[in-house]
Amino acid sequence: MANHSQFGFQDASSPIMEELMQFHDHALMVALAICSLVLYILTLMLTEKLSSSSVDAQEIELVWTILPAVVLVMLALPSLRILYMMDEINEPDLTLKAIGHQWYWTYKYTDLKELTFDSYMVPTSDLPLGHFRLLEVDHRVIVPTESKVRVIVTADDVLHSWAVPSLGVKTDAIPGRLNQTAFLASRPGVYYGQCSEICGANHSFMPIVVEATPLANFENWSSLLSS
């Protein structure tokens, strides 16, 4: 859960989000090295007497051609690796369908019979003590931990976006089209997200709450709702 003074990411709760955070730190180190080199060259130009006799022009051209290419490869390879990891969805343990409406979500557990519900934001006047304003919902998405969950995302009216930062997922919900993403919750907890696509007047009031629970608890919950 993010706080007002937080500058970094929320704590990672899935392997994909851990990879994204590591790549973020890697890209920042590359950017820091580039900025340091540029600052050093600028300082050298301002403090030293310029001379073209010490360095050959061909050597300079070789350096400023090869060095940026090496930097791009250092950024591209890990980025492509993460993109392929996020796109690969093989044999999920659970499939969940999320349908965006103005301004609430409908969830369908396609592997379980007749398990469908709508998820609305809890109004501030009805919010229990200790719960988060504008983030709590009346029906949470319950998923088992250490299980690969596939989420099929679509919309019923306008563009929406199903996003949960701690799990490293963000997928656009487009009317007439099915998009999919996947995540694996590595530990039990409650993870908050929001619609991340401007979808109308109440865009700020359609939160997403995913509760990860052990498999035994999930089976008990699903059997109670299905019965």
How many whole angstroms separate alpha carbon 191 and alpha carbon 185? 10
Q: Which domains does the chain have, with CATH numbers?
A: 15-87 (1.10.287.90), 94-226 (2.60.40.420)
Residue 227 has pLDDT above 80, yes or no: no
Residue 210 has pLDDT above 70, yes or no: yes
Assigned token pair, 150: 């596939």
* Residue 22 C-beta-side C-alpha neighbours within 13 Å: 10
Minimal CA–CA distance to 223: which of 112, 64, 63? 112
Identify the band that residue 1 occupies on the pLDDT scale cut at 50, 70 and 90. Answer: low
Dihedral through CA 10, CA 15, CA 16, CA 18, nearest 10?
Answer: 40
Is the pLDDT higher at 131 or at 5? Answer: 131
Mean pLDDT (whole number) for 91-115: 90
Tens of pLDDT, residue by residue over 136-180, are: 999 999 999 999 999 999 999 899 999 999 999 999 999 999 999
Minimal CA–CA distance to 164: which of 14, 51, 49? 14
Sheet holding 160-164, edge to edge: 141-144, 207-213, 189-195, 160-164, 169-173
How many whole angstroms separate alpha carbon 136 and alpha carbon 127? 8
Per DSSP bridges, beta strands 160-164 and 179-184 are: unpaired
How many whole angstroms separate alpha carbon 106 and alpha carbon 97? 8
Q: What is the model's pLDDT at position 33?
A: 93
At residue 7, what is the residue type? F
Using CB atoms within 10 Å of the CB of residue 176, give its burial: 0 to 12 exposed, 13 to 18 middle, 19+ buried.
exposed
pTM: 0.84
* Residue 59 C-beta-side C-alpha neighbours within 13 Å: 5
Q: What is the model's pLDDT at position 122?
A: 94
Instruction: Identify the DSSP state of 216.
Output: H
